[in-house]
Amino acid sequence: MLGMHRRGAGDTVYIAKYIERYRIRINAPVACCHQDVRRYVVERAMKVSDVRITPIAFRDAPVLNASGIHEPYALRTILEVECDNGMVGLGETYGDAAVLSAVRAVAPALAGMSPYDLNSMEAQIRQILTALPAAQAGTELAPGSHPSKQVPNCFSAFEVAFLDLQAKAAGVPLHQLLGGAVRREVPFSAYLFFKYARHIDADYADDPWGEALDPEGIVRQATRMINLYGFESIKLKAGALHPDIECATIRALAQAFPGLPLRIDPNAAWSMETAVRVAGELAGLLQYYEDPVAGLGPMAELHRATGLPLATNMVVTDFDELRQSIAQNAVQIVLSDHHYWGGMRRTQTLAAICDHFGLGLSMHSNSHLGISLMAMAHVAAATPKLSYACDTHYPWVEDDDEVVMGGKVKIEGGCVRVGDEPGLGVSIDRARLERLNGIFERIAIRSRDDVAQMRKYDPAFDPGKPRF
Ligand code: GKR
Ligand code: MG
């Protein structure tokens, strides 16, 4: 028995005493006790023995936003935390160079740690990362890649893997560690983008979505996405084309999908004047109005001027900004994201604060794969006051670019289901992970840069805000 879990002589005495006490208490046969107790001890005493960090790249469509256009490949980092009992916990985070070097810097310090010790893991991360030279700027549209988010982002990546391990050891789905699922079907929205038919510099065939540069193109895109995944709400990424085209697109969507909630998100590309005008034009058509203008003060002013519920993943990205926003009534809906709010449990704290202050809660997304999707689904499943369908870029992932076993996670009826499988409920497909790592090693992209990519199409492109 002791050989099984590779522990010292101290453990022998402890286990023997435990078995004896346990056997007497429940009057069970010794053999059965040995087995159960061994399982209990091995799992409770597990320690991190190996941390594997794999940067990957996967195909991304030429979709437009206020900062430019996506590059042909999106980057992610896959974390596998293995314990001495052979269990593996998974995590997924940004693949930008600063994030990758942060998780790489932290990994060796996790050896020997118990996956139950989330507090000491966070303290270690804080200590290691604050001692490193300051990270360079992150991407504006990926808040989790900002230097100020390095600690919460890095902690979150490992917290998911540690919670995956804890849940696997207990033989329960991860949502049970978060208080249990209040919903098994987690709703997501159709995330639409204006886009070109092809990248200027891709080394692969065109994506199946085609061009969408006008209302008709977006209605076609929405129809395809809804037919494939059954979404019951729609988000339009705006701030890319002239606001008149974007308003006409919302009107066309309202006509094509009557009754479906609609959101528009120009990522703070609009002036106050434009945002007020658009609010008037789209009156009655929007479920919420996401980040029309830049800054907490202007968001508060816009809300006073229009009365529309404003949502954000740009001006409220941590608890301090949340406090300031509440003081000014700047936003009425916060888009959570466990990747930079400091993990799944802090996302639940955020949810509780939002509930307390009467704020709505939705969920933000950047380009991601199935481990992140399942982490998002588990925390959303265990968050009672999730007021809106979550965002996800997942429909934009090509079928064979998923690294989880069995291929892409299913989205049916617009929902991701959280089941009863232990942990996150997904495992790694090694061959696919290696293939995507091979792509990462081959390409030159090391940090997301939508602006530089757009300048390949339009050398005069200026992302300065407000753009319109
Ligand atoms: O990927 O183009 C994009 C999005 O604009 C993304 O970067 C944003 O962070 O989806 C995000 C949002 O809701 O603002
Ligand atoms: Mg947004």
Q: Ligand 1 pocket test: which of 60, 65, 448 has the largest number of ligand atoms within 8 Å of its C-beta?
A: 65
Q: Relative to the CA of 193, which ligand 1 atom is closest?
A: 2
* Residues 6+ positions from 3 with CB-CB distance below 8 Å: none
Q: Ligand 1 pocket test: which of 69, 75, 94, 141 has the largest number of ligand atoms within 8 Å of its C-beta?
A: 141
Q: How far is the CA of 313 from the centre of ligand 2 (A)?
A: 5
| Per-residue tens of pLDDT for the chain, all 468 residues | 333 344 444 454 555 555 555 555 555 555 555 666 656 655 568 999 999 999 999 999 999 999 999 999 999 999 999 999 999 999 999 999 999 999 999 999 999 999 999 999 999 999 999 988 776 666 666 776 677 889 999 999 999 999 999 999 999 999 999 999 999 999 999 999 999 999 999 999 999 999 999 999 999 999 999 999 999 999 999 999 999 999 999 999 999 999 999 999 999 999 999 999 999 999 899 999 999 999 999 999 999 999 999 999 999 999 999 999 999 999 999 999 999 999 999 999 999 999 999 999 999 999 999 999 999 999 999 999 999 999 999 999 999 999 999 999 999 999 999 999 999 999 999 999 999 999 999 999 999 999 999 999 999 999 999 999
With CA atoms as reference, report the closest residue to 414 among 229, 202, 275, 246: 229
- CA distances (Å), origin 324, targets 329, 376, 404: 8, 26, 39
Q: What is the CATH number of the domain that holds 240?
A: 3.20.20.120
Domain that holds residue 256: 179-424
* 146 within domain boundaries: no
Alpha-carbon span 267 to 335, nearest angstrom = 13
In this prediction, residue 35 carries a pLDDT of 65
65 touches ligand 1 (CB under 6 Å): yes
Ligand at minimal distance from the CA of 364 is: 1
Q: How far is the CA of 125 from the centre of ligand 2 (A)?
A: 28
Residue 79 φ then ψ, to 5°: -110, 135
* 113 within domain boundaries: no
Ligand at minimal distance from the CA of 391 is: 1
* 363 within domain boundaries: yes
Alpha-carbon span 200 to 57, nearest angstrom = 18
The angle that helices 344-356 and 150-170 make with each other, rounded to 10 degrees, is: 110
Alpha-carbon span 416 to 436, nearest angstrom = 24
392: left (phi over 0), alpha (psi -120 to 50) or beta: beta
267 touches ligand 1 (CB under 6 Å): yes
The angle that helices 296-306 and 272-281 make with each other, rounded to 10 degrees, is: 30
Alpha-carbon span 379 to 374, nearest angstrom = 9
* 351 within domain boundaries: yes
Task: Tokens for 254, please give them.
Answer: 């309202």
Instruction: Count how many Cα atoms sit within 13 Å of the Cα of residue 309 in the half-sphere of its side chain.
Output: 19
* 208 within domain boundaries: yes
With CA atoms as reference, report the closest residue to 374 among 197, 160, 108, 182: 160
Q: How far is the CA of 187 from the centre of ligand 2 (A)?
A: 17
189 touches ligand 1 (CB under 6 Å): no
Ligand at minimal distance from the CA of 140 is: 1
Under 8 Å between Cβ of 212 and 195? yes
In this prediction, residue 48 carries a pLDDT of 98
3-state secondary structure the chain: CHHHHCCCHHHHHHHHHHHHHHHHHHCCCHHHHHHHHHHHHHHHCCCEEEEEEEEEEEECCCEEECCEECCCEEEEEEEEEEECCCCEEEEEEECCHHHHHHHHHHHHHHCCCCCCCHHHHHHHHHHHHHHCCCCCCCCCCCHHHCHHHHHHHHHHHHHHHHHHHHHHHHCCEHHHHCCCCCCCEEEECEEEECECCCCCCCCCCCCCCCCECCHHHHHHHHHHHHHHHCCCCEEEECCCCCHHHHHHHHHHHHHHCCCCCEEEECCCCCCHHHHHHHHHHCCCCCCEEECCCCCHHHHHHHHHHHCCCEEECCCCCCHHHHHHHHHHCCCCEEEECHHHHCCHHHHHHHHHHHHHCCCEEEECCCCCCHHHHHHHHHHHHCCCCCCCCECCCHHHCCHHHCCECCCCCCCECCEEECCCCCECCCCECHHHHHHHHHHHHHCCCCCCCHHHHHHHHCCCCCCCCCCC
Under 8 Å between Cβ of 382 and 71? no
Task: Tokens for 132, please give them.
Answer: 């490193």
* 412 within domain boundaries: yes
Under 8 Å between Cβ of 282 and 305? no
Alpha-carbon span 345 to 351, nearest angstrom = 10
350 touches ligand 1 (CB under 6 Å): no
Cβ-based neighbour number of residue 451 at 10 Å: 15
* 438 within domain boundaries: no
In this prediction, residue 134 carries a pLDDT of 72
Give the distance between the most distant pair of CA atoms in the chain: 80
Q: Ligand 1 pocket test: which of 96, 233, 366 has the largest number of ligand atoms within 8 Å of its C-beta?
A: 366
Task: Tokens for 113, please give them.
Answer: 């740690």
Count of domains for the chain: 1
* 304 within domain boundaries: yes
Q: How far is the CA of 366 from the centre of ligand 1 (A)?
A: 6
**Enzyme catalytic residues:** 237, 364
Residue 407: burial class (beta carbons within 10 Å; 0-12, 13-18, 19+):
middle
Task: Tokens for 9, please give them.
Answer: 């002589």
In this prediction, residue 39 carries a pLDDT of 60
Cβ-based neighbour number of residue 8 at 10 Å: 9
